[in-house]
Amino acid sequence: MVLPSLPDNLTIFPYGGNASQAVLSGLGSQLGSYEVSCKNPVPGKVTGKLAESIALSKDLKSIEVKLRPLKSQTGHTLSTDDVMWSFSKYGFVIQPVLKASFAQAGYDVDNLITKIDDHTFKFNLKSFSSTALDVLQNPLGYIYDSVEAQSHATSDDPVAQKWLFTHLADYSGWKLDNFSPRESLAVTADPNWGGPKRAVKKVAVQSVPDDTTRQQLLETGEAQVAVGFQPSQYRALVGKPGINVTDCASLNMDNLMFSTRDAPLNDVRVRTAVSMAINRDELAKGAYAGYATPAVSSFNKAFNFGQTGDAYKFDPAKAKKLLADAGYPNGFDLTLTYSPTRPGPVTSKSSVLVQSMLAAVGIRVKLEVISGPTQFTDVMYTTHLYQSALYGEPIAIADPAWLTYVKFGKSPNNSGTFWSSPALLDLLSQVSATPASDTKTRSDLFHQIAKIGDTELPLIELVETPYVIATNGIATGNPLPNGQLAFSDFGK
């Protein structure tokens, strides 16, 4: 398997976006998993993965989990203590996003688990959230072999983070053959794991940043699975002998994010002008070679929340008027940051097209590229040292309430736009507390949320993108909602 990038560690933090998700989702040591389909971008219910069963209580105050009797690489049996350590002692400590995710999903993060026995426990909920079960399949919700991990702890590193950077101590059912940070990963199926047998016994993943080299490796059969191509390359691969290109529906959207702290992007008229200056039809055809559809709202069309407002309509004349009304009749200088690692190599073309489109209304764009996945994540979420950025957040949790939180939740903890709307946050609280079965109430609330997002525009969606996978002589199974492939599905 060849990818554009691999992370510099095997843990949930530091987090490298797509690169980290490829490893964490690929190995798959999470309690739950979505039922997924290639043709339906909205996944089904969450089912057990490491868990034998996951059940929300009738009073909506707890989630009971029964674990499978799986073995780690060193022979320890999956236990309630492992889950408690993985979240409360490790994950919540090193990865603030994980703790915030569980808090947002209604969990009592300070009193997370009530142990029933070694293989059964209850998650304690403070309040019901529609994403309560969904977070259990989040790639960050990784379950570790706590006994093995703690045996490598030191006084300077009490959770063995440095050791876990380059070693596996989990219940994925894969043994680590080697890991070279940012370069390669090789794992072998563990015959003593206790879970379903794997059709593929060994998986070797190689980071190959150059698109053309990845394509050559796939065509010659040296690689059986490849992702992250330019859309034009996928188009060129269709019909080649031995090559299969699978185009799966997704909820992903590539967007343009704004840091709204400073002028001129703190003015909604300027943000609206930028949106109206971009010809999304031409962007989908030119940069994405047709492997994308123009965005018409803050949310993917699959959710059917409707189009609200005019900001997503291409209207350069109105864009110029808005700029003039905002005090920028001659435009302004704008730095546009992008990375080929996230949302992908297409940014080398989409950035140039966006630069050209904005120039037509007087906005002078300077392009700034960041090549490393970890560095790009730091810029977007830690230092926030960007003015505008091409971005795409892999859909780890497919409930639109979660997408609302990620896009429009209180900044800078989530989107990093430094924009917040009390009205939207109130709607988000309402929709999160509404069961998914109440489709009418949720649809009405999401329509109101979409209207705020479509008019306030702390970020603008550009295109909706499918998940495209190129293979040579092997099946891969369906991609997860974040677009990643589970190694356990290879060969099925």
CA angle, residues 270, 305, 295, in degrees to nearest 5: 50
Do 183 and 272 belong to one domain? no
Do 194 and 290 belong to one domain? no
Contact at 8 Å (CB) between 142 and 29? Answer: yes
- Give the other-Cβ count within 10 Å of 119's Cβ: 16
Do 260 and 187 belong to one domain? no
Q: Is residue 229 part of a domain?
A: no
Please name the residues in contact with 53: beta carbons below 8 A apart, sequence gap of 6 or more: 64, 65, 66
Do 166 and 35 belong to one domain? yes
Of 198, 225, 241, which one is at a domain's C-terminal end?
Answer: 198
Contact at 8 Å (CB) between 73 and 83? Answer: no
Strand ranges for 326-479 from DSSP E:
333-338, 364-369, 388-391, 459-464, 467-472
Q: Is the Cα torsion angle 308, 312, 314, 320 positive or negative in sign?
A: positive
Q: Please name which of 346, 350, 282 lies closest in space to residue 316, comparing C-alpha atoms.
A: 282
What CATH number has the domain bearing residue 84? 3.40.190.10
Query: CA–CA separation, 100 vs 413, rounded Å?
Result: 9
Q: Is residue 408 part of a domain?
A: yes
Q: Is residue 472 part of a domain?
A: no
Place of tokens 């099925």: 492
Contact at 8 Å (CB) between 467 and 451? Answer: no
Question: In Å, how far are 79, 223, 291, 481 from 117, measured between CA atoms?
Answer: 9, 45, 50, 32
Do 356 and 438 belong to one domain? yes
Q: Determine the pLDDT at residue 411.
A: 52
Query: CA–CA separation, 402 vs 213, rounded Å?
Result: 37
Q: Is the Cα torsion angle 430, 433, 436, 437 positive or negative in sign?
A: negative
CA atoms within 13 A on the CB side of 43: 26
Q: Please name which of 175, 206, 198 lies closest in space to residue 188, comparing C-alpha atoms.
A: 175
Q: Determine the pLDDT at residue 41.
A: 85
Q: Is residue 482 part of a domain?
A: no
Contact at 8 Å (CB) between 113 and 122? Answer: yes
Q: Determine the pLDDT at residue 412.
A: 43
Question: In Å, how far are 281, 334, 339, 344, 369 from 354, measured between CA atoms?
Answer: 12, 12, 14, 16, 14
Of 198, 213, 244, which one is at a domain's C-terminal end?
Answer: 198
Do 341 and 421 belong to one domain? yes
In DSSP notation, 279-295 reads -HHHHHHHTTTTSSEE-
Do 194 and 267 belong to one domain? no
Do 24 and 150 belong to one domain? yes
Cα torsion for 100, 300, 270, 308, to the nearest 10°? Answer: -110
What CATH number has the domain bearing residue 370? 3.10.105.10
Q: How many domains does the chain have?
A: 2
Do 440 and 328 belong to one domain? yes
Q: Determine the pLDDT at residue 413.
A: 43
Q: pLDDT 10s digit of each residue in the chain, 492 long?
A: 999 999 999 999 998 888 999 999 999 999 999 999 998 888 888 999 999 999 999 999 999 999 999 999 999 999 999 999 999 999 999 999 899 999 989 999 999 999 999 999 999 999 999 999 999 999 999 999 999 999 999 999 999 999 999 999 999 999 999 999 999 999 999 999 999 999 999 999 999 999 899 999 999 999 999 998 889 899 999 999 999 999 999 999 999 999 999 999 999 999 999 999 999 999 999 999 999 999 999 999 999 887 667 999 999 999 999 999 999 999 999 999 999 888 888 999 999 999 999 999 999 999 999 988 788 888 887 888 999 999 987 788 889 998 998 889 875 445 579 999 999 999 999 999 998 889 999 999 999 999 999 999 999 999 999 999 999 999 999 999 888 999 999 998
Query: CA–CA separation, 488 vs 21, rounded Å?
Result: 15
Query: CA–CA separation, 66 vs 117, rounded Å?
Result: 9
Do 411 and 305 belong to one domain? yes
Query: CA–CA separation, 347 vs 391, rounded Å?
Result: 9
Helical spans, DSSP H, in 268-416:
268-277, 280-286, 316-325, 347-359, 373-377, 400-408
Q: Is residue 209 part of a domain?
A: no
Counting beta carbons within 10 angstroms of the beta carbon of residue 415, is it exposed (0 to 12), middle (13 to 18) or buried (19 or more)? Answer: buried
Structural domain span for residue 438: 253-465
Q: Determine the pLDDT at residue 230.
A: 87
Structure letter (DSSP) for residue 171: S
Do 177 and 317 belong to one domain? no
Contact at 8 Å (CB) between 419 and 266? Answer: no
- Give the other-Cβ count within 10 Å of 104's Cβ: 22
Question: In Å, how far are 96, 377, 382, 420 from 414, measured between CA atoms?
Answer: 11, 12, 10, 11
Per DSSP, the three-state class of 201 is coil
Query: CA–CA separation, 50 vs 202, rounded Å?
Result: 20
Do 27 and 132 belong to one domain? yes
Tokens of 353: 């097209």
Q: Determine the pLDDT at residue 414.
A: 53
Q: Is residue 481 part of a domain?
A: no
Q: Is residue 22 part of a domain?
A: yes
Q: Is residue 99 part of a domain?
A: yes
